[in-house]
Chains A and B, each alone.
Chain A
Amino acid sequence: MEFDWSKDETEFRSALKDFLSSELPEGFDAFDMPEHDAKEFSKTFAVKLAERGWLTPAWPKAYGGLDQSPWQSLILSEEMVAHGEPRFGQYMCVNWVGPALILAGTDEQKEYHLKRISRGDVMWCQGFSEPGAGSDLASLRTRAIWDGKDYVINGEKIWTSYAGVADFCFLLARTDGEAHKHRGISIFLVPTDAPGLTIRNIPSLFFDGAFNQCTFENVRAPASWMLGPENGGWPIIRKLLVNERVGVARYRRAARSLERAAKIAKAEGLFDDPTVLEALGRARAACEAARVLVYRVIDERAKGRYPDLTAYVYRVATIRAERAVYEAELHIEGLAGMAEGSVAAKQFGHAVTAGVATGTLEMQLNLIARDIVGGVGA
């Protein structure tokens, strides 16, 4: 057991830091920008990253990556997030859409999609949740029925972030209505301008474009849009969702928000107030706990395992960190935190969605319980 970064890792981090601070304005945050602007910005930015191999460094060399270790991916994620995530929604393509294609794609799919992702000029959205299928994702009912020529897709996806600006949707649909619910699901790579697909923005309490509803009405999907085997989507999803869960160094973003709040506290002379100190201390410790707990996930990945228990534990710790940071910011800003643009008001969306987006807190608790409590019936 040791907690040192290797020389390569340290150099990688400092090169990234230098690059990001020279490229981005102080205080940059893609999530403060209107969604469309953020997307356009991310495209230009991603090209610069791609030139340096930093857009998809964890991918195998054969697909334009650098074969970097999971530790370097973590560093990349931390530094991007610490600098306002200039890749915006592209982290999704890089972290799990690409790896899913590498795992299960045909040569044509790889050729077409991986190139575009690694150039940075494409955005994806994730069509998983449905009005009737949230935590119980495998109960999804969007149907894709083969009519002899194409799959014909009908159904409803909801909460689809980025759908309004995405070029493709990574869609889960049921191709076998008879099979056990996990065994009848397939993945489709659907262009968002496919005829029959309509996208409606659902106003949310937080970010522009956070939520959309995608309605599929007789959308015709040729077989070449299917990723992996028919009815074999679920195992692919299970493997890759861990990438999503730990792909974004949320604790690092929360810690950055806390830095801003601490600056305010200091400037306003609040470092004499024990309640402020306690809230700041607890929030910082919560961010640090999430940071050290993610190392266990990365360590497993680096050793060739697909982490699960450690990843769920890390997610719970991250949710705690997001909330603790918001609480500290409220102690510091008070009513001023209610004004748009305040540190607390910006953190609010992250703090409250952390426990729902990418699988709820309760699902993490259920999964951990299965492991630590184990077989006790009901």
Chain B
Amino acid sequence: MDMELNETQRAIEDSCTRLFARKAGPSRARLLRAEGGFDRPLLEEMQSAGFLDLFDDAETGPLAAALVTEWASTAAALAPIGQRALIAPAAMSDIPPLVVAVGEKGRKGPVRYAAEADLLILLDGDDAQAVRKGDFVAEPVDSKFGYPMARIASAKGTALAAGSGRTARNWWRVAIAAEVAGIGRAALDLTIRYLKDRVQFDRPIASYQAIQHRLVDCHVSTDAVQWAAREAAYHRAPDELAASAAIAAEETAYRLFYEMHQLTGAIGFTREYDLHLWTMRLQTLRQEAGGINSHAHDLVHARWG
């Protein structure tokens, strides 16, 4: 057991930090959202740097892929990174194309990045299909909740190996948790900085204990989901750990959304202030992979039959 990054992980972190400082960040996310697009160039750079193919690399393994997903999310990267770096390599044996979207049969509602995707992985219970671009129709829907989304009108794919639906769902949960952890960290940092600067009643707002305790509760929840995601990824997303990480993600997403916006006041509801570039995504992430009902159902049945 070792809770610190090893040399390889640290090297990946360093290059990610440099890459995201140049190519991601809130202003980039704002621009992309205004245009309704997503960050294909970033994804391409990540691919050529090897950051999307860590999952099957014996030296790094899925934990590194989950860390990259988390860090990209802290940097507000707007691209399906968890889908490509974690879910696709777990579900299929071929090398996945660059842009991957993940949805579920029989669940209503749009799918993140579906209109842009080269490949749609559609879960169907314990099984899954791979649907190539051209074999599915995705109709974009407007959404203020952080991501480009599209409704799947039709899809005709080929079955992946038996059981890959279950595997993909577990990795989906880990990816959600890693993404929520990354968002949580960024939103909390931003909010703490803001509250240390902003003075009301002649004191920085962050000096009020009532405020501090709520910030700390958010910090604890963010730590919880971050470590749950990392541990689950390390152990290759077994049913219980994956569902448990997703439940931690739901708890954190719920808590952080309200608290970050409440504690920031009116400016937090503007498009000009950066907070929404992270927090609005939390609403979407809370609903994915069936949301809390599905995570809890699967956790309980995995553990207690």
Residues of A at under 8 Å CB distance from B? 1-6, 9, 71, 262-263, 265-266, 271, 274, 277-278, 280-282, 284-285, 288-289, 292-293, 295-296, 298-300, 313, 316-317, 320, 362, 365-366, 368-369, 372-374, 376-378
Contact in complex: A3, B224 (CB < 8 Å)? no
Q: Is chain A's binding surface mostly helix, strand, loop or mixed?
A: helix
Contact in complex: B300, A71 (CB < 8 Å)? no
Q: Say if the beta carbon of B284 comes within 8 Å of chain A.
A: no
Contact in complex: A296, B227 (CB < 8 Å)? yes
Contact in complex: B6, A2 (CB < 8 Å)? yes
Provide the bound-state CA to CA distance between A378 and B300, in Å.
Answer: 46
Provide the bound-state CA to CA distance between A313 and B241, in Å.
Answer: 20
Task: Identify the interface centre among B1, B206, B248, B304: most chain A CB within 10 Å of its CB.
Answer: B1
Provide the bound-state CA to CA distance between A42 and B9, in Å.
Answer: 46
Query: A residues within 8 A CB of B292?
Result: 278, 281-282
Known pairs A299-B4, A378-B203; A369 contacts B213 (CB<8 A): yes
Provide the bound-state CA to CA distance between A335 and B196, in Å.
Answer: 47
Query: B residues within 8 A CB of A317?
Result: 220, 223-224
Known pairs A365-B212, A368-B219; A281 contacts B243 (CB<8 A): yes
Q: Say if the beta carbon of B160 comes within 8 Å of chain A.
A: no
Beyond the given pairs A1-B2, A317-B223, 20 more chain A to chain B contacts, judged by CB atoms under 8 angstroms and listed by A's residue number, are A3-B1, A274-B293, A277-B296, A277-B300, A278-B296, A280-B296, A281-B243, A282-B251, A282-B296, A284-B299, A289-B225, A292-B228, A293-B223, A295-B3, A298-B1, A369-B213, A369-B215, A373-B195, A374-B196, A376-B206
Contact in complex: A263, B228 (CB < 8 Å)? no
Contact in complex: B220, A316 (CB < 8 Å)? yes
Partner of A376, one of B207, B227, B300: B207
Contact in complex: B300, A271 (CB < 8 Å)? yes
Query: A residues within 8 A CB of B240?
Result: 284
Query: B residues within 8 A CB of A2?
Result: 1-2, 6, 63, 234
Q: Say if the beta carbon of B281 comes within 8 Å of chain A.
A: no
Query: B residues within 8 A CB of A278?
Result: 292-293, 296
Q: Say if the beta carbon of B230 comes within 8 Å of chain A.
A: yes
Query: A residues within 8 A CB of B228?
Result: 285, 288-289, 292
Q: Say if the beta carbon of B295 comes within 8 Å of chain A.
A: yes
Partner of A277, one of B196, B234, B293: B293
Partner of B223, one of A4, A274, A313: A313
Contact in complex: B304, A3 (CB < 8 Å)? no
Partner of A3, one of B196, B231, B296, B299: B231
Q: How far is the CB of A175 from chain B (nearest CB, A)?
A: 32
Query: A residues within 8 A CB of B230?
Result: 1, 3
Q: Say if the beta carbon of B126 comes within 8 Å of chain A.
A: no
Contact in complex: A376, B241 (CB < 8 Å)? no
Task: Identify the interface centre among B207, B228, B300: most chain A CB within 10 Å of its CB.
Answer: B300
Q: How far is the CB of A259 from chain B (nearest CB, A)?
A: 8
Closest chain A residue to B241, Cβ basis: A288
Closest chain B residue to A378, Cβ basis: B207
Partner of B209, one of A274, A285, A366: A366
Contact in complex: B2, A299 (CB < 8 Å)? yes
Provide the bound-state CA to CA distance between A317 and B241, in Å.
Answer: 17
Contact in complex: A71, B304 (CB < 8 Å)? no
Contact in complex: A368, B6 (CB < 8 Å)? no
Q: Say if the beta carbon of B69 comes within 8 Å of chain A.
A: no
Contact in complex: B305, A266 (CB < 8 Å)? yes
Provide the bound-state CA to CA distance between A281 and B224, in Å.
Answer: 15
Task: Identify the interface centre among A266, A320, A365: most chain B CB within 10 Å of its CB.
Answer: A365
Query: B residues within 8 A CB of A374?
Result: 196
Query: A residues within 8 A CB of B301?
Result: 271
Provide the bound-state CA to CA distance between A282 and B228, in Å.
Answer: 13
Task: Identify the interface centre among A265, A271, A298, A373: most chain B CB within 10 Å of its CB.
Answer: A373
Known pairs A1-B6, A3-B234, A378-B207; A285 contacts B244 (CB<8 A): yes
Q: Say if the beta carbon of B5 comes within 8 Å of chain A.
A: yes
Partner of A373, one of B1, B192, B244, B245: B192
Contact in complex: B296, A281 (CB < 8 Å)? yes
Closest chain B residue to A299, Cβ basis: B3
Query: B residues within 8 A CB of A71?
Result: 1
Contact in complex: B247, A281 (CB < 8 Å)? yes
Closest chain A residue to B189, Cβ basis: A372
Q: How far is the CB of A17 from chain B (nearest CB, A)?
A: 18
Question: How does the 8 Å CB contact mask read for B273-305 relative to A, with 1 for contact and 0 for none?
Answer: 000000000000000000011011101110111
Contact in complex: A262, B300 (CB < 8 Å)? yes
Closest chain A residue to B301, Cβ basis: A271
Contact in complex: B219, A313 (CB < 8 Å)? yes
Query: B residues within 8 A CB of A365?
Result: 212-213, 216-217
Provide the bound-state CA to CA distance between A277 and B301, in Å.
Answer: 9
Provide the bound-state CA to CA distance between A293 and B296, in Å.
Answer: 21
Known pairs A274-B293, A313-B223, A376-B204; A280 contacts B300 (CB<8 A): yes
